[in-house]
Structure 1
Amino acid sequence: MNFEHSDKVAALLAKVEAFMDAHIYPNEQAYYDFVHDQSNRWQEWPGMEALKDKARAEGLWNLFLPHEYGDLSPGLTNLEYAPIAELFGRVPWSSQVFNCSAPDTGNMEVLAKFGSPQQQEKWLKPLLAGEIRSAYVMTEPQVASSDATNLELSIIPDGDDYVINGRKWWISGAMHPRCDIFIVMGKTDFNAPRHAQHSQILVPRDTPGVTVVRNQTVFGSYNSPGGESELRFDNVRVPKENLILGEGRGFEIAQGRLGPGRIHHCMRSIGQAQRALEYMARRVDSRVAFGKKLADQSSIRQDVARSFCEVEMARLLTLKAADAMDRYGNKQAKDLIAAIKVVAPTMAQTVSDRAIQAHGGMGVSDDTPIAYFFTLNRYVRLTDGPEEVHMSQLGKQKIAEYVAANRR
């Protein structure tokens, strides 16, 4: 395995680092001040579009889109994108500047891979241009949605349309002022085999019958401007041409979407853990307690050392998973994808917790981004499937594999 970045990736990393230094870090506090001001709720930070224009002009645009999508993509593999996504993770909102933010990334991949030419023209092109935002509408309040076969929202054919009824919640990005399109998963055939009951359909945000029941908070924050929302669909009618791929293909689409999305989360989590570690090192080197630098305390040094080891291990596992996705495909790499989804957010939360402790009271404030990294990664441990589900499936897979191998 070659641990050196290619010339192409090294050049891109240098450009992204320079862009972050010039435009992202200097605006970090201004962004957070704006979005945390209640009077600005559900409004985009005014500086966002100017930064997007700068990133697009420098060719730092849609870098997430896998290389197999031809002219739509800048041509990066998952392995090549990984260290770039790690840099984006250091300032979580920066992904949007480069048009590489969830849930749009996964939705663009769905439309690029499964969308009809008409769907791509109407929705994928403006998403790729960063002109609109989107949401992925899957989780439901009345069922355990980590088992997606439980989903009950109905998508029933009626003439030239489908009629949609049901409830959804924890829908990220639904409140963003530029969110124009939902990708909704539900049942088209309640009597089909278990994994052939569900389909996915495009629902414009302003379709009659779509209601925001409430805005949900995460650790006391509304996460403006995108937020998380509970939605109700009451006899929502959309044309049949909005169905993606075909009836009963919902699980096929979901698996194609979630593999890259899961690893993108992990890449960004590693960036947050790395930055928390750097904050911790600077803090303990500058702080004196009881006549001695914190950095001279053995327990503090152990915290820094453990954190370094854990970040490096997670980074290498992420790179291995990304490489396996490139070489063998997402399905064949599912064990490594599951493993890093279990490891990375928990690692980032643990490293952030140590950094909080090293900062004392300052650590739980918003004077540094560390507290946000801690809560964000606690949340990521649930996104795209809770870690218990990944561990259950991974354990089942590995038991079968090792029993079949029957090695001594």
Structure 2
Amino acid sequence: MNFDHSPKTKGYIERLNAFMAEHVLPAEPVYAAQLKAASDPWTQPPVMEELKARAKAAGLWNLFLPEEEYGAGLANVEYAPLAEIMGRSFIAPEVFNCNAPDTGNMEVLVKYGSNEQKERWLRPLLDGTIRSAFCMTEPEVASSDATNMRATAIVEGDTVVLNGRKWWSTGIGHPNCRFVIFMGLTDAEAPKHQRHSMVIVPIDAPGLKIERMLPVFGALHEPHGHGEVTFTDVRLPVSNIIAGPGRGFEIAQGRLGPGRIHHCMRVIGVAERAFELMCRRALTRTAFGRPLAHLGGNGDIIANARMAIDQARLLTLKAAWMMDTVGVKGAMSEISQIKVVAPSMAQQVVDQAIQMHGGAGVCDDTPLTELFAAARVLRLADGPDEVHRALIAKLALKPHAVELGLVPSRK
């Protein structure tokens, strides 16, 4: 593995860092003030549209898509450091049209969408004029095992009928959200991973109802939010099924691989910002006549945080490189490893930064509480740590089980 960034990536890193410093980071308090001043918090702060226009004009747009027809043409390992830079700010991913869940939905439509679906839904997403959501997780069942899914997408002639309840549908509160991708059971008798379908559902489809917006540690994360949504006899043309009935799990795996790289690199950006705040606090805050950096074990805390962040980054870049060279299947263990390592590392680093800030760390004077929530939530999003550990162990044990003759060899 070559640890040096490609010339193309280096150029993007330089431009992205400059844009972040000049436009995005100074706009964070403006964004927050506009959101707070709005009579309806579920509205887009005007500064966001200004930033998006600037980013598009600067050519810093749709950087995550490897297909040059739609995006920047960057491989996973090339895009990864850019995702880390964006992860330093909660508003940055949307500024560059690289925000989840739209990124995953765009990847799905690029790879699996029909020409009609691409024209109607992908193009506006690529332009940043609409937003979208993804409806997969369900409140009634353990969604860490997606085969538990109860929601249905039943084909009746030229119509598909949707029923079920979903939650944690991120982005559905956004005023520009125009559709969701719904995953449901189509054929209970089919092989386990060919039973489900993914369907494009316009947000105004009869029978779709946003029941409530779900708070995370007390915050609703306006104007995006996370919704609990019911689907009651939602009838749509069968042409709204992505790639055809029964291909939901196939699509999900194709969607989650790159998305996990993006999530992990962004959360490394979260950790880097917390680390920077911690270091500055440690050097400028004095207690008992000495800077915090020289009190107790704070030096060790800072050193360990530095090492942990760098280790997580290297592992994530390795996973991205493997995805580019051997594909998602060949990188399954590494993808699961980063999904456990990166959010846990970030959660610990942010917690240490909060501790270093004392009372200031748990109020809104710093972004640390929001950074902590982001890291903690990611330990559940895209599969909980326990599911990923189970897969890592299974893949680690397999060659030894074959060698011992405990399972048959499959070539």
Instruction: Assess same fold via TM > 0.5.
Output: yes
Q: Distance in 2 between matches of 1:232 and 1:379?
A: 23
Kept after mapping to 1: 8 A contact 2:174/2:223: yes
CA distance in 2 between counterparts of 1:387 and 1:401 reads 23
- Name the structure 1 match of 2:353: 355
Write out per-residue CA displacement over residues 4-23 of structure 1, whole angstroms, 9 at most, x where no aligned residue.
22221111111001100111
Secondary structure of 1:234's match?
A: strand
Measured in 2, the distance between the counterparts of 1:124 and 1:142 equals: 31
Query: Does the Cα contact within 8 Å between 2:30 and 2:47 map onto a contact in 1?
Result: no
Q: Which amino acid aligns with 2:41?
A: R
User: Aligned partners of 1:175, 1:151: CA distance in 2, in Å?
Assistant: 23
SS in 1 for 2:236: strand
Q: Which residue of 1 aligns with 2:325?
A: 327
* 1:398 alignment partner, one of 391, 396, 399: 396
Q: Deviations over 1:210-268 (max 9, x none)?
A: 01111111100111111011111111111111011111111000000011111111000
- Judged with a 3 Å threshold, the aligned counterparts in structure 2 of structure 1 residues 335 and 173 are, in CA distance, closer, same or farther, namely same
1:36-95 deviation digits (Å, cap 9, x = unpaired) = 5683321111111111111111110000012xx341221101111111110000002210
Q: Which SS does the other structure have where 1:39 is aligned? A: coil
Equivalent residue number for residue 239 of structure 2: 241
* Distance apart, 1:295 and its partner CA: 1.4
Measure the CA separation in 2 of the matches of 1:2 and 1:138: 37
- Give the secondary structure class of the aligned counterpart of 1:385: coil
Match of 1:264 among 262, 265, 272: 262
Instruction: Name the SS for the 2:104 alignment partner.
Output: helix
Task: Output the amino acid matched with 2:349.
Answer: V
Normalising by structure 1, what TM-score? 0.97
Partner of 1:108: 106
Aligned to 2:227: 229
What is the CA distance between 1:298 and its match in structure 2? Answer: 4.4
Q: Which moved more, 1:110-119 or 1:394-403?
A: 394-403
Q: Which residue of 1 aligns with 2:408?
A: none
**Is 1:35 equivalent to 2:35 in the alignment?**
yes
2: distance between equivalents of 1:99 and 1:122? 18
2:407 match: none
Equivalent position of 2:272 in the other structure: 274
The 5 Å alignment of 1:18-167 reads: 18-36=18-36, 39-66=39-66, 69-167=67-165
C-alpha deviation, 1:154, in angstroms: 1.2
Task: State the SS of the aligned residue for 1:241.
Answer: helix
Query: For this pair of structures, how many residues does the alignment match?
Result: 404
Q: 1:300 aligns to what?
A: 298
Provide Cα deviations, 1:314-369, integer angstroms capped at 9, x if missing partner: 00001100000000111111110000000000100000000000010001111111
Q: How far did 1:2 drift?
A: 2.6
SS in 2 for 1:76: coil
Contact map agreement 2:61 2:71 (CA 8 A) in 1: no
CA contact (8 A) 1:188 1:199 kept: yes
Matched to 1:234, the amino acid is T
Separation (CA, whole Å) in 2 of partners of 1:373 and 1:120? 34
| Unaligned segments of structure 2, at least 5 residues | 405-411
Determine if contact 2:23/2:51 at 8 Å carries over to the other structure: yes
Question: How many angstroms apart in 2 are the aligned matches of 1:39 and 1:143?
Answer: 37
Q: Is the contact between residue 167 and residue 228 of structure 2 (CA under 8 Å) also seen in structure 1?
A: yes
Matched-pair contact (CA < 8 Å) for 2:285–2:292: yes
- Whether contact under 8 Å (2:171, 2:177) holds in the other structure is yes
Matched to 2:342, the amino acid is A
2: CA distance, partners of 1:55 / 1:405 = 54
Structure 2 CA distance for aligned equivalents of residues 356 and 151 of structure 1? 38
SS of aligned partner of 1:283: helix
Contact 1:185 1:201 in 2 (8 A): yes
1:153-232 to structure 2, matched below 5 A, reads 153-232=151-230
- Give the drift of 1:402: 3.5
Distance 2:36 2:371 in 1: 16
- Structure 1 vs Structure 2 CA RMSD: 1.3
Residue number in structure 1 paired with 2:366:
368
How far residue 117 of structure 1 moved from its aligned partner, in angstroms, is 0.8
For 1:123 and 1:227, the matched residues in 2 are separated by 21
Contact 1:34 1:40 in 2 (8 A): no
Residues 7 and 70 from structure 1, CA distance in 2 versus in 1: closer, same or farther, beyond 3 angstroms? closer
Deviation beyond 3 Å, 4+ runs, structure 1 = 33-40, 402-406
Percent identity between matched residues is 52
